[in-house]
A and B are shown apart, each in its own frame.
Chain A
Amino acid sequence: KNEVEQSPQNLTAQEGEFITINCSYSVGISALHWLQQHPGGGIVSLFMLSSGKKKHGRLIATINIQEKHSSLHITASHPRDSAVYICAVRSGGGADGLTFGKGTHLIIQP
C-alpha cells in the first residue's frame, strides 16, 4: 500500500508570502492529485499530474517521479487561500481509488 506523507501538517503565514506544501509517497504512481478543502466545504481538484509541472493562476504544482515527491506552491498568498490542501496518489494495479495524505491546514493571515 502506498504511504502518503504531507508536510507541514499546519502552516500559518502572512498575506503575500510564498507558500510551499510537500507530499512524499512510498511506491511508484500513475498520477498525483492536489485537492483543496475549505472549512465545512467540499473538495475541489486543483491539479492532476504525472510528470513535470503545472500552473494555474497563483498555484504551481511540481512532481519528481524519481524522488517520489511533489510540491504545491502558492505565490502572493491571500486569506482566501486558507484551506486544507490534500495530496492523493493513484498507484498502478491493485484496488482502485486514491490514497490520500492527511492534509496540510493552511491559514493566511491578513
Chain B
Amino acid sequence: DAEITQSPRHKITETGRQVTLACHQTWNHNNMFWYRQDLGHGLRLIHYSYGVQDTNKGEVSDGYSVSRSNTEDLPLTLESAASSQTSVYFCASRMDRDTEAFFGQGTRLTVV
C-alpha cells in the first residue's frame, strides 16, 4: 500500500546543531508540505513543494529549509536548532490542488 512515512519519530538535539527530518511518500504525489504543530496554534505551514526542484516558503519558514531532488522525498532541515523549534512536525502530500491530503505520523523534536 502507498504511504507517507516520517523519520525519526522522536528526536532530541542540542541548540545550534543541524537537524534533518525525513519525509518519504510512495503515492507519487506532486505536492508535499511540512507543518509544525504547537499547543495553542493550529498546524502552521513551514515549506511546500509542487514538484522536483520546486520549493516555497510557508508561514513560518525562518530557520528551516527543504530540498526536492525526487518525487518521493522532502527532507526538512533545521540549520541551527533553537529551543523555539521544539514542536511536532508533520509532513503531508497530495496529488494536486483540491485533492485529499495524506499526513505522516509526525516527528516530535525537542531542542535542549
Point out residues on A near B: beta carbons under 8 Å.
4, 30-31, 33, 35, 41-45, 48, 50, 86, 88, 90, 95-103
Point out residues on B near A: beta carbons under 8 Å.
31, 33, 35, 40-45, 48, 50, 56-59, 90, 92, 97-106
What is the number of contacts between chain A and chain B, taking CB atoms within 8 Å? Answer: 63
Cβ–Cβ < 8 Å partners of B58 in chain A = 95, 97
Q: Within the complex, which residue of B41, B90, B97, B100 is in contact with A43, where a contact is CB–CB below 8 Å?
A: B90
Cβ–Cβ < 8 Å partners of A30 in chain B = 97-98
Contact: B42 with A95, CB < 8 Å? Answer: no
Contact: A45 with B40, CB < 8 Å? Answer: no
Q: Within the complex, which residue of B40, B41, B106 is in contact with A42, where a contact is CB–CB below 8 Å?
A: B106
| CB of A43 to closest CB in B, whole Å | 4
Cβ–Cβ < 8 Å partners of B99 in chain A = 48
Docked CA distance A100–B50 (Å) = 20
Query: A42-B104, A42-B106 known; A90 and B42 CB under 8 Å?
Result: no
Query: A43-B103, A44-B103 known; A98 and B45 CB under 8 Å?
Result: yes
